[in-house]
Structure formats: structure tokens, C-alpha cells
Chain A
């Protein structure tokens, strides 16, 4: 089971397992459909291992056109809430070398039970209702740097998650910070991810919580992603 702190983070963040959606793929006048499947030795979410050591499989199907995009992302491996699928829409564009992307995400956990206050009594389940848990995400990128803000817009109390990342060639470093409005120190956890793409399919990530730690384990993620139909 997830710790209470972890559960609270996820609840207050309304499962801000958000893709920054900076990878919007679109063509000017045609709808582009893409898909991919991935597998990893764990489900790393904002510096936290949601699977408690179990491997996970994910899949993504998206359509894009003229900067607009939308799709569904699904995964196994969440030990707390079970199978997940996310619906998302967004728009990305570039202005003078600055990329801007805004998107909305709705998280669905059909098989979950919901105990918001962890009192052992199941609360009305917002996890399998459309729009129950939703985020708005804004990302701005320039010269390899990307800053992102994740904010829940439905399903929970205000909670933000910030990231600042820099990518160069096959390397990426990301610093993420949880910002829980409750003011609990443990909800201010900061982590650092260092990723390396061995090739177009195989990536490795080290993740370490560096402040307000929930745990102090160094996490090592091996993930394999395979684009389909291209």
C-alpha cells in the first residue's frame, strides 16, 4: 500500500500524472495518428514508485492536426488505484523559438476504490467519473529548457507541481517540486531525475528525492518504448 503521504500527494494533486504534452505532433493540414507502447521496470511518478517495485506496461494513442492534439494514455502498475487511463487534449505552438503548450488531462481509475481521508470508509468515487480528476498543464520551452506547471482543475484541493528541465542530446535532467497547499512539509518533496536515451527505444532514468523526502531510495528505471505503425 502507498504511504499516507504519498496518497495525500496524489489526492491533493489529483493524480497529476501529467504529460507536459510538449511532444505535440501535428501536421499543417492533415490529421496525424500515432501510437506507441512502453514497458518499464516500475511506474515512476514525480519521483515516487507507484508500483512498489512492480513492472508496468503503458500505451498511447493520439491524433493531432494543426497544433491541436488529443488522445488516451493507459498504464498498469499503479499498486494503489489499479489500472489507469488518461484522456487528454491540448494545443502546442512555437513563437520565435519559444514553445508553448497547454493541455487538460482527465485521469480514470475504473477499478479503484476511493478513500480520500484514509479513514477506511470509501468516499464517493471520483476516480472513475469523467472529469472527476483533471489537470491543466502549461509548459514553456526555450533553448532546451522547459518549465512546466501542473494544476488540478477538478477532483481535489489545489495542488501544484512544478518542473524545470534541460535536455541536451540524449540526456535530460529534471527537477520537480510538489507544492501542497496544506503546507505539510512532506508535501513539498523535491526530486531530481536524470535520463539517458540509449537509442530511440531504450531509456534509463535515475531518480532521487532530495528534499522533503518520502523515501530516500535511488530509483533506477529501465523503459522501452516502441512506436507503432510508423
Chain B
């Protein structure tokens, strides 16, 4: 990797959490993440065309949050598990055994090591641009089993039974494949991205498990001793062919390792950001409604006060007029008549007052309703 091709800004690291920084990998270049940090919070993540970000398998899991992500075409994130090491071959029992001695068995091959699991990758991206991104979180393939060693050739024979060749060593079992890493991509499409709909065609994730390693081949059995003529009575004279020792059995082949399980893959919009936006919209709507209600209340209150003042003023005028009438009346009839008129006017005045009071009560109820309505309007959730 050309480290100069990678631009790092504000490289301030803290234990396992990377402080705000930018990661910019230029076109066609490759960069490997620090193998000790599992959480990265980036102001900006830029993967130019055909850029590759390698996540060391030793991390096990990694969280990358980018406030703004700019991803070109053919970008890749490699987070596959490491392949298991192949088992060593079993030692061969060399040469030929001593006379009348069976050959020594070959050594067994070692088992292949299991493949490593793919890295669990969690990405939270606010995408400003996205060409295509391929994430490889496959499990590592299991290591092949080592071959069994060859058995030693049998020794010669004379007065003994023909010895056998040594058995071949067993082949080592193949290592199990690693499990695919779990990959979760939460994204928010920024308006400038111009992308709508699903990102299934743009983000490809391979989280298949690694294949199990092949079993090692069993070692070949050692050769048996050669046959020969011995002096022995037969139907064809005094020489009989005696078969040599049998060859040693070939070692059993190692078993194939199990394939790793597939990792879970989740690519979806970041619902937390969406919730934030909805909350902000609701807050604005509630504030508008509240202002409108307050204006209506103020308007109603002013109108009611003006009406009451007019009624009180008219009543006072009528009372004053009545006092003047009473003081200036000369006759009882007139007094009575005027008294009768006064009673009628008083009754009318009382009706007017009742009307005014009812109107005031109605205004108060309207105010109460408006107040409750305002209180019932949902408030905006607190921003995280």
C-alpha cells in the first residue's frame, strides 16, 4: 500500500475510539485500518473509484460512522477472515525395516487450522455520493489437512514370516471454514446524493462462510518384502515360491472441514435520522398552531372587553337618565308611569346584563378550549 495515497486529518486516537477525522482513499489505492481500533467516527469518508479499505481480521468487529460519505464506483471494503493454516504432513518412515521386522508406520498428518471468521462490520453513513460499494466479509477457508507419511518398507525374510510394510499415516482433517462476518449498513441519503430508493444495486455484501479445508491424503503404506523361492516340498520339486510380506495399509484420508456459516447482512436506511427529521417537522407544526391559537385568543378577548364596556356605559347612561327623571317628576302618575317605565327598563337592563354575562362565559369557555387545544399539541422530541 502506498501510505502517501491516503490522507488522514486530525489523527487523534483514543483507546478504541477514533476522534473526529477524515479518511480519504484515492482512486485505485488501498489502505488498511489500524488493527487496534474498533470504532471510528469520521467527519468524512471518501472512497474514490476502485479504492480499497482493508479491515484487519484481527479486529473481529469494527464500527465506522461517517457524517458524510463520498463513495465512487468500484470501491471495496475487505473484511474477510483469514484462511486457516494447512496442517503439516506426517513424517515418512524412511527406508527398509530390518530383516523379519514389519515396516514402521508413517506419521499422521496434522489437522488444518480453522479459518477465521469474517469481521463484523457496522457502518453508519450519511451518503453524499455513492457509485458502488462491495463489502467482503467472507469467512476464511479452513486449512487443508496434512498428508500422512508413507509407511516404511518391510524387511526381508528368511526363516521368519514375511514381514509387512508399515501402514501409511492418516491424513489430517481439514480445518473448518470461518463464519461470515455480520454486516450492517445504516445509511442516510443526503439530498445532494440524488439517490432514491433502495441501495441494493449499489452496495453488495458477501458474507458467506469459508469453505472447509480438504482432508489430507493418507500416507501410502510401505511396500511388503519381495517374495522368493525357498527350499520346500511341493508338487513341482523342492522349490516353492513364497509370497513376500504384504504392503502396509494406506492411511485413511483426512475428513473435509465443515463450511462456515453465513453472516447476517442488513442494509437499510438509518431510522434514527428519519425519526429526527419527523420530530423536527412536528415541532414546527406545533409551534405554528400554538401561535395561531394565541392570536385568536387575544382577538376574542379584546372583542369581549369592548362589548362589556359598551354595555356598562349604556347602563350607566340609563341610570343617570332615570335619576334625572325621578328628580324632575311632578305627579304621582308620572311618577308611577315613569316608575313603571323604569321597572321595564330595569328589567331590560337586567336582561342585557345577563346576555353580557353569558357572552362573557362563552368567551371564557372559548379561551379555555383554546388553551387546552394548545396544551394538547405534541411537543417535538428532544434531539438526540
Residue positions of A touching B, CB distance < 8 A: 17-27, 32, 38-40, 42-47, 56, 58, 67, 73, 75, 77, 86, 92-94, 99, 101, 139, 141, 146, 148, 163, 165, 167, 169-170, 172, 174, 176, 193, 195, 197, 200, 203, 205, 207, 221, 223, 225, 227
Contact present for B231 and A193 (CB under 8 Å): no
Cβ 8 A contact of B235, one of A20, A24, A193, A221: A221
> With contacts A146-B231, A148-B231, A200-B227 known, is A23 near B240, CB below 8 A?
yes
Interface size class of B (residues with CB under 8 A): 20 to 34
The minimal Cβ–Cβ distance linking B251 to chain A, given in whole angstroms, is 22
Q: Is B159 an interface residue (CB 8 A)?
A: yes
Contact present for A174 and B238 (CB under 8 Å): yes
Interchain Cβ contacts under 8 Å between A and B, 7 examples: A20-B232, A22-B158, A27-B160, A193-B239, A195-B229, A221-B237, A223-B236
The minimal Cβ–Cβ distance linking A194 to chain B, given in whole angstroms, is 10
**B202 partner residues in chain A, CB cutoff 8 A:** none
The chain A residue with its CB closest to the CB of B163 is A27
Q: Which of B158, B227, B230, B231 has the most CB of A within 10 A?
A: B231
Contact present for B234 and A22 (CB under 8 Å): no
Q: 0/1 per residue, B223-253, Cβ < 8 Å to A? A: 0001111111111111111111000000000
The minimal Cβ–Cβ distance linking B187 to chain A, given in whole angstroms, is 74
Contact present for A21 and B231 (CB under 8 Å): yes
Contact present for B241 and A197 (CB under 8 Å): yes
Q: Which of B160, B236, B240 has the most CB of A within 10 A?
A: B236
B134-191 residues at the A interface, CB under 8 angstroms: 158-161
The minimal Cβ–Cβ distance linking B131 to chain A, given in whole angstroms, is 72
What is the predominant secondary structure among interface residues of chain A facing chain B? strand
**A225 partner residues in chain B, CB cutoff 8 A:** 234, 240-241
Contact present for A77 and B239 (CB under 8 Å): no
Contact present for A172 and B229 (CB under 8 Å): yes
Contact present for B235 and A93 (CB under 8 Å): no
The minimal Cβ–Cβ distance linking A86 to chain B, given in whole angstroms, is 7
**A19 partner residues in chain B, CB cutoff 8 A:** 231-234, 238, 240
Cβ 8 A contact of B238, one of A20, A32, A77, A197: A20
What is the predominant secondary structure among interface residues of chain B facing chain A? strand
**B239 partner residues in chain A, CB cutoff 8 A:** 165, 167, 172, 174, 193, 195, 205
Contact present for B231 and A223 (CB under 8 Å): no
Q: 0/1 per residue, B120-134, Cβ < 8 Å to A? A: 000000000000000
Interchain CA distance A32-B100 in the complex, whole Å: 14
**B230 partner residues in chain A, CB cutoff 8 A:** 20, 22-23
Contact present for A44 and B229 (CB under 8 Å): no
The minimal Cβ–Cβ distance linking B188 to chain A, given in whole angstroms, is 79
Interchain CA distance A176-B227 in the complex, whole Å: 23
The minimal Cβ–Cβ distance linking A188 to chain B, given in whole angstroms, is 18
**B237 partner residues in chain A, CB cutoff 8 A:** 44-47, 174, 193, 195, 205, 207, 221
**B243 partner residues in chain A, CB cutoff 8 A:** 200, 227
Q: Which of A39, A174, A207 has the most CB of B within 10 A?
A: A174
Contact present for B241 and A200 (CB under 8 Å): yes
The chain A residue with its CB closest to the CB of B243 is A200
The minimal Cβ–Cβ distance linking B96 to chain A, given in whole angstroms, is 16
**A58 partner residues in chain B, CB cutoff 8 A:** 234-235
Which are the 3 A-B pairs with shortest beta-carbon distances? A20-B231, A19-B233, A23-B230
> With contacts A163-B238, A176-B238 known, is A22 near B159, CB below 8 A?
yes
Contact present for A197 and B227 (CB under 8 Å): yes
**B240 partner residues in chain A, CB cutoff 8 A:** 19, 23, 225
**A207 partner residues in chain B, CB cutoff 8 A:** 237
Contact present for B159 and A67 (CB under 8 Å): yes
The minimal Cβ–Cβ distance linking A201 to chain B, given in whole angstroms, is 8
Contact present for A167 and B236 (CB under 8 Å): no
The chain A residue with its CB closest to the CB of B226 is A169
The chain A residue with its CB closest to the CB of B157 is A25
Contact present for A40 and B235 (CB under 8 Å): yes
